[in-house]
């Protein structure tokens, strides 16, 4: 059984779905591996390194025509054309943006797993690509803020005078937000953080940050540990209360997301106007509209003297570790899917395990994924 690793075709993507480390592990499972020529270059893994790990180097068509195809982004129609009936593809599928990807995959008879659908249970943590990539994004976002901000993060006492510590506010304390808090603290900033789910208070405080607490008159906690959309009244109250709080911030890292919905607006134009010249907002929700309406996706702009950064793919800026983590997540998922009997690798029944069953979005020629309304 052959595993194929094609080059990612999405613009700006530097990650790859297998590394020499995971190729070695896939080979040890009894699988053969074909890596597209130069697939790892964006992440600094050479063909030679893959070859030494036991992979064959080949062209795109052969990588896509493998029994199991590993990808970072959902397959494009031109890629699906090369996939074969009965093949399996593992990838993030961008299911919130309805298009014909799943019907094309089902039409080809490809069984597709959407990695963002893996349930967030303890047993699945080693396969959780959302967490591994958000963790990297939260770290990288703070470095970007530090790069854009014209001042020190830590308090500095020098013979040329002293500098005050930077005040960082993190909005949304999920995986990315918690890593942003930890990273900003490591750089010496004074950090406070806010989330609409009150249960994160303890986690925020355990990282040495102050918890910003408001009474919105309703809870923002939704199903499965995710946030839910607030009523219009609560949203407007939240924006008003935050506007006062954000005036004190030198840097805002905003990470607030609601699954498959536009990002909530937490930083109004009025709040931006209240911030000082040269302050920085890194809006990690830029891909889904932004937590600030002034953010422009994939651009850094200055408005009312405030620098707004709208990078939408932070993991691609840390490609070696992002690929290493992602590839390990995928390898762990593959181990759940296959079994070896008498030296022969075969697929297990995907529907028997909660993790594979929940993430299987096309199966035996049919689309299995049901969009939540
Ligand atoms: N295996 C596991 O058990 C596991 C792994 C990772 C995450 N999780 C849980 O999954 C959940 C989602 O985490 P995530 O990082 O994917 O979150 P996410 O990326 O979906 O959202 C980021 C954060 O934004 C917050 N947010 C949304 N709307 C907001 C608003 N209006 N104001 C302020 N904050 C707002 C959310 O509460 C969340 O903390 C969390 O409960 C997390 O603990 C569990």
CATH number at residue 100: 3.40.50.720
* Ligand 1 atom index nearest CA of 235: 31
pLDDT of 222: 84
Domain count, the chain: 2
Task: Average the pLDDT over 43-48 and give the result.
Answer: 98
Angle between helices 129-148 and 319-337 in degrees, nearest 10: 170
What pLDDT, on a 0 to 100 scale, did the predictor assign at position 372? 66
Tell whether 285 and 176 lie within a shared domain.
yes
Write down the pTM of the prediction. Answer: 0.95
Q: What is the mean pLDDT of residues 21-33?
A: 97
Distance 131 CA to ligand 1 centre (A): 10
Q: Are residues 140 and 261 in the same domain?
A: yes
Q: 169 and 305 in one domain?
A: yes
Q: What is the mean pLDDT of the chain?
A: 95
SS3 content of the chain, % helix, strand, coil (to 5): 40, 20, 40
Strands 161-163 and 156-158: antiparallel
Of 128, 132, 141, 174, the residue with max ligand 1 atoms within 8 A of its CB, to mutate for a pocket test, comes to 174
Q: According to the model, what pLDDT value does residue 360 have?
A: 97
Task: Tell me the C-alpha distance between 3 and 196, whole Å.
Answer: 42
Averaged pLDDT, 316-334: 98
Residue 341's pLDDT band (boundaries 50, 70, 90)?
A: confident
Same domain flag for 109 and 63: yes
Task: Please tell me the distance between residue 225's alpha carbon and the centre of ligand 1 in angstroms.
Answer: 7
- Taking the chain, what is the end-to-end CA distance rounded to the nearest angstrom? 38
The predicted pLDDT at position 373 comes to 56
48 occurs within a structural domain: yes
Rounded Cα gap, residues 17 and 11, in angstroms: 16
Give the CA radius of gyration of the chain: 22
- Domain that includes residue 336, residue range: 2-117+319-361
Q: What is the mean pLDDT of residues 146-163?
A: 97
- Ligand 1 centroid from CA 110, angstroms: 31
Report whether pLDDT(131) > 90. Answer: yes
How many CB atoms lie under 10 A from the CB of residue 50? 26
Residue 126 lies in a domain: no
Helices in 149-246 by DSSP H: which ranges? Answer: 175-186, 201-206, 232-246
């Amino acid at each position: 059984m052959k595993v194929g690793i094609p080059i990612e075709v999405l613009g700006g993507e530097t990650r790859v779905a297998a590394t020499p480390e995971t190729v070695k592990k896939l080979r040890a499972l009894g699988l053969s591996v074909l890596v597209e020529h130069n697939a790892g270059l964006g992440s600094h893994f050479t063909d030679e390194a893959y070859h030494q790990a036991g992979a064959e180097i080949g062209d795109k068509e052969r990588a896509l025509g493998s029994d199991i195809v590993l990808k970072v982004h959902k397959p494009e129609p031109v890629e699906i054309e090369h996939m074969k009936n009965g093949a399996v593809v593992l990838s993030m599928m961008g299911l919130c943006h309805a298009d014909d990807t799943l019907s094309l995959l089902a039409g080809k008879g490809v069984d597709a797993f959407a990695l963002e659908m893996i349930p967030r249970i303890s047993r699945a943590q080693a396969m959780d690509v959302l967490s591994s990539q958000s963790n990297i994004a939260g770290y990288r976002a703070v470095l970007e803020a530090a790069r854009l901000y014209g001042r020190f993060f830590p308090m500095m006492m020098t013979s040329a005078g002293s500098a005050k510590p930077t005040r960082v506010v993190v909005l949304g304390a999920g995986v990315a937000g918690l890593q942003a808090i930890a990273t900003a603290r490591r750089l010496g900033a004074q950090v406070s953080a806010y989330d609409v789910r009150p249960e994160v208070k303890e986690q925020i405080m355990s990282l040495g940050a102050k918890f910003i607490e408001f009474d919105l008159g309703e809870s923002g906690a939704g199903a499965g540990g995710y946030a839910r959309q607030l009523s219009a009244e609560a949203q407007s109250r939240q924006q008003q209360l935050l506007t006062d709080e954000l005036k004190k911030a030198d840097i805002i890292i905003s990470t607030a997301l609601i699954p498959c919905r536009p990002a909530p607006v937490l930083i109004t134009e009025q709040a931006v106007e209240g911030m000082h010249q040269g302050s920085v907002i890194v809006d990690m929700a830029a891909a889904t509209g932004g937590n600030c309406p002034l953010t422009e996706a994939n651009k850094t702009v200055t408005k009312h003297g405030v620098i707004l950064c709208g990078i939408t793919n932070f993991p691609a800026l840390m490609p070696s570790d992002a690929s290493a983590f992602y590839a390990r997540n995928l390898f762990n998922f593959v181990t759940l899917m296959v079994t070896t009997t008498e030296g022969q690798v075969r697929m297990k029944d995907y529907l028997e395990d909660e993790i594979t069953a929940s993430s299987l979005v096309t199966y035996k020629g049919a689309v299995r994924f049901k969009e939540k309304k």
